[in-house]
Structure 1
């Protein structure tokens, strides 16, 4: 009989607190441990159930992958028993390799994640890291602009698909239908640039545009006010 469990190696987290999920198989006084391709934080893992929580991005697919791996190990164990061999960790590993070519592997395409969803995730990170309430609220305003802009697009607005042409369309949307002043446009773009830099660095996203290329200038209100006085337009 073989018993299979999954556990998160809490003793070896990375810089972001994510640790590798391992499979442990117990059989005939032996123990086999296999590393999976999944990493998660403590809050994303259910120790009692040995499964990912709903807070883990793609939790359903990840749990399905664990079940598939468990089925493969169980099948390899049965294969050894039927062949008359006394299963050992080394033989079980070899059986997994032997059975891999005939195993049915179902690849589920990764669903596209919207830019707005990741932007909201970034606001949650800001809250967790102690950003001021007014700052997070201001980012909420930019999120609303991105939601409205996304509704005008023929396809889902994603980080990977946000290229220079999309950015130009966003600027047109801000200055056209939304009629925002230059400083408001500058704030929205500043928020977007900060978000894109974060999602690239901490989420490993591949960007279609260089963050530095999205710069906008703030309008100097003081200079404009002086100019109006000089022209006799104020007072």
Structure 2
């Protein structure tokens, strides 16, 4: 009997995987990986390791979750070390909990290796701290996949009046609906909003606005992107370190910080 590692690959930058996660990649006989996993991490697999692409885009899955579950059990029962490599953290909107349940049900030994989730990493790379003594003392990680607050009217009301900072995953497609729900339930129209596309990577782009205008300003932003809502977004103007770093590489003698 083999073993399964449920590993968080991190938010995009391959250097942000944990040491334990990297070891699980290097030691694996079989790696089942998702769409958002940086392909450079797969280069760390040993020669002869089997690589299985699982897809998992918001609108389309190459393999169903049921099929992935079955493959994890199948390969482990063949005596393999199996690494299930997921973008971000496996237990934050990664269905890692479902896979862990299925492995347990089938008597498969497994370990969970947490990863850095894009909900914290993308804002950090955009210069947006999720908490700040003057702006925010609470954060909520939210799935934005539901449309028009489907079956979650009370939830949006709670979010609008609850956490200071909202980090919304998988919400770009439904951004107009999200803004409408928050405004309807009392969030101030001038509440700052940021969208961070491909956070922590060379393709990172950030667009800022507020609940009234972000839908118009962010028309060109697509998935994968994080939505950050709250007063902490104002701090980006002061601490957008990633952009300064890139500028410093291009024009090191001309960069002025502040």
Task: Name the one with the larger strand percent.
Answer: 2
- Could you tell me the TM-score, scaled by structure 1's length? 0.29
- Could you tell me the TM-score, scaled by structure 2's length? 0.28
Between structure 1 and structure 2, the one with the greater Rg is 1
Task: Name the one with the larger helix percent.
Answer: 1
Q: Between the two structures, name the one with larger relative contact order (CA 8 Å, sep ≥ 6).
A: 2
